Amino acid sequence: MEEAYICDAIRTPFGRYGGALSTVRADDLAALPIKALIERNPKVDWSAIDDVIYGCANQAGEDNRNVARMAALLAGLPVDVPGSTVNRLCGSGLDALGTAARAIKTGETSLMIAGGVESMSRAPFVMGKAETAFSRSAKIEDTTIGWRFVNPAMKAMYGVDSMPETGENVAAEFAISREDQDKFALRSQMRAAAAQEARRFDDELIPASVPQKKGEPVIVGKDEHPRATSLEALAKLKGVVRPDGTVTAGNSSGVNDGSCALLLANERDAARYGLTPRARVVAMATAGIAPRIMGFGPAQAVRKVLERARLTLDQMDVIELNEAFASQALAVTRSLGLADDDARVNPNGGAIALGHPLGASGARLATTATYQLARTGGRYALCTMCIGVGQGIAVVIERV
């Protein structure tokens, strides 16, 4: 089989909900990192791209009608370069990477773009069609995150817990205290702040130019979500599910906007187009779990991918674990035998600090891990995340 190499990876800054990127359409946002790849790699024959695969969880607004294809066209790729959008909810961007890598490994493709996008600020309200003639009942659903148009059978069989409710379920089932969740959240913020101060995100970030109604465009050059806080400040926050709950806005990931793209090639095309392989995609695995504790999904996915790759957790030099909630992140790390403050886990902060634009987050994990391996000289990185409706996904990459 061929090997699939990550040759370049780039992302936009992640904006807060209603923040600096909220006026940018999802399809325009998705095009930005592809444009950057084109500019950064002038020797590539861009008509040779076999496919563009993007993850996107919503697809109900300006990201409808195959946002990967629209992003490719808006970015200036030739019209004969196809595009496909995949939806594994939070795991979409990581799934896009794994799918592209598998296509290269089989020999069916040789040059691919994978990534993801989400504009949660611009997620629309939607309304179903009337079920009877002259109906006077209408229900508006918010597509930003979570369930809508609930199937009664699904609700009866598995429940339809909101994402914060699943975080509370995990906290209760795995005895994750509020204090430990807040400590984890603070570490994420502090590590992200240190990474920004040391400019460790410079390699992976491109500035986003946001047009204004009047005057010059605003340039967004860094992640907008991180914030200064303390254990005392975090402890004062009320639970989002119930006032005495453990899951709060401070120990949960954000609702964000952003996009990310990676350029993958086999060895032959990397050499042909003057690309430098940065990391090899070793293996990907997914796993299912009860929807009510969806946050624990990475534990099963990690075990599967390590077995598939014939590697151990001790061999991982970097572990990028998406922090949907501190409760689920701690449940996963403890299940895997990792210390709460393991230096390998999210060394530059995670989604609690950096944000979680659903379809883009998995691609961001792989991008950050690729540059962290290069920076530290590590060999293997593990990227993993939980997925709504009860799944986990994990990918192993190797620095080359």
- Could you tell me the domains of the chain? 5-123+197-207+253-399 (3.40.47.10)
- Structure confidence at residue 264 (pLDDT): 99
CA atoms within 13 A on the CB side of 265: 22
Q: Tell me the whole-structure pTM to 2 decimals.
A: 0.97
**Exposed / middle / buried, residue 379 (Cβ in 10 Å: 0-12, 13-18, 19+):** middle
Give the residue numbers annotated as catalytic, written as ranges: 90, 356, 386
d(CA 66, CA 262): 18
Q: What is the C-alpha to C-alpha distance for residues 339 and 398, in angstroms, rounded to an integer?
A: 23
pLDDT at 12: 98
For 197, the token pair is 């101060």
* pLDDT score recorded for residue 47: 98
**Residue entry with tokens 């806080």:** 229
| Count of C-beta atoms within a 10 Å radius of residue 303 | 17
Q: What does the pLDDT read at residue 26?
A: 98
What digits encode the pLDDT tens for the residues 190-243? 999 999 999 999 999 999 999 998 999 999 999 999 999 999 999 999 999 999
Q: Which amino acid, 360?
A: A
Q: For residue 228, give both structure tokens.
A: 């200064």
- Gap between the Cα atoms of 273 and 271, Å rounded: 6
Percent of the chain scored above 90 by pLDDT?
Answer: 98
pLDDT of residue 72: 98
Sign (positive or negative) of CA dihedral 189, 16, 165, 157 = negative
Q: Which of 248, 203, 207, 249 shows the shortest CA–CA distance to 224?
A: 207
Q: How confident is the model at residue 327 (pLDDT cuts 50, 70, 90)?
A: very high
| pLDDT band, residue 142 (cuts 50/70/90) | very high
